[in-house]
């Protein structure tokens, strides 16, 4: 087992989550003060996939200058309200990026490397799309 993560009640429906390495974030059950745990789950999946995408494209010597993921999640109406569908739209910018390499990097991220998407895929249908924008390289 690893060092424990902790979630500590901070009043109302707010909680402070801390990782084993001491990083902390605030979560709120009604999203008035901070992200909800489900918001964090969706954003964590996007970040995980984006990290893998950037690493794969950089390793493939693609001239990437920007990457982001737009996420949409659909949840069940009844409890537990887990995600049943998730759409990730990747937007990458760079110089002469190869559409085939971007598509392959997304597939590898989602199917092989991103643990968060693998976990989410157990209950949700995950769909991806992407667009490539031409961008000047920073000097």
Alpha-carbon distance of 99 to 96, in angstroms, equals: 9
Q: How is 70-123 classified by DSSP, letter by letter?
A: EEEEEE-SSSS--EEEEEEEEEEEEES--HHHHHHHHHHIIIII-HHHHHHTTT
pLDDT per residue of the chain (139 residues) written in tens, 0 to 9? 678 999 999 999 999 999 999 999 999 998 788 999 999 999 999 999 999 999 999 999 999 999 999 999 999 999 999 999 999 999 999 999 999 999 999 999 999 999 999 999 999 999 999 999 998 777 6
**Domains in the chain, number:** 2
Adjacent-strand bridge partners of 75: 83
Whether residue 107 is found in the same domain as residue 52:
yes
Whether residue 124 is found in the same domain as residue 93:
yes
Model pTM greater than 0.85? yes
Which DSSP state fits 10? -
80: left (phi over 0), alpha (psi -120 to 50) or beta: beta
Whether residue 80 is found in the same domain as residue 91:
yes
Whether residue 51 is found in the same domain as residue 31:
no
């Amino acid at each position: 087992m690893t060092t424990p993560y902790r979630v500590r009640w901070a009043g109302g429906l707010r909680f402070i989550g801390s990782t084993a390495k001491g990083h902390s974030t605030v979560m709120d059950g009604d999203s008035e003060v901070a992200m909800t745990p489900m918001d964090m789950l969706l954003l964590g999946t996007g970040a995980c996939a984006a990290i893998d995408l950037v690493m794969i494209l950089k390793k493939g010597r693609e001239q990437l200058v920007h990457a982001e993921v737009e996420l949409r999640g659909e949840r069940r109406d009844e409890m537990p309200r887990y995600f049943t569908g998730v759409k990730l739209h990747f937007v990458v910018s760079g110089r002469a990026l190869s559409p085939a390499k971007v598509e392959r990097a997304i597939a590898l991220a989602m199917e092989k490397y991103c643990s968060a998407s693998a976990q989410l895929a157990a209950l949700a249908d995950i769909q991806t799309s992407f667009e490539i924008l031409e961008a000047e390289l920073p000097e």
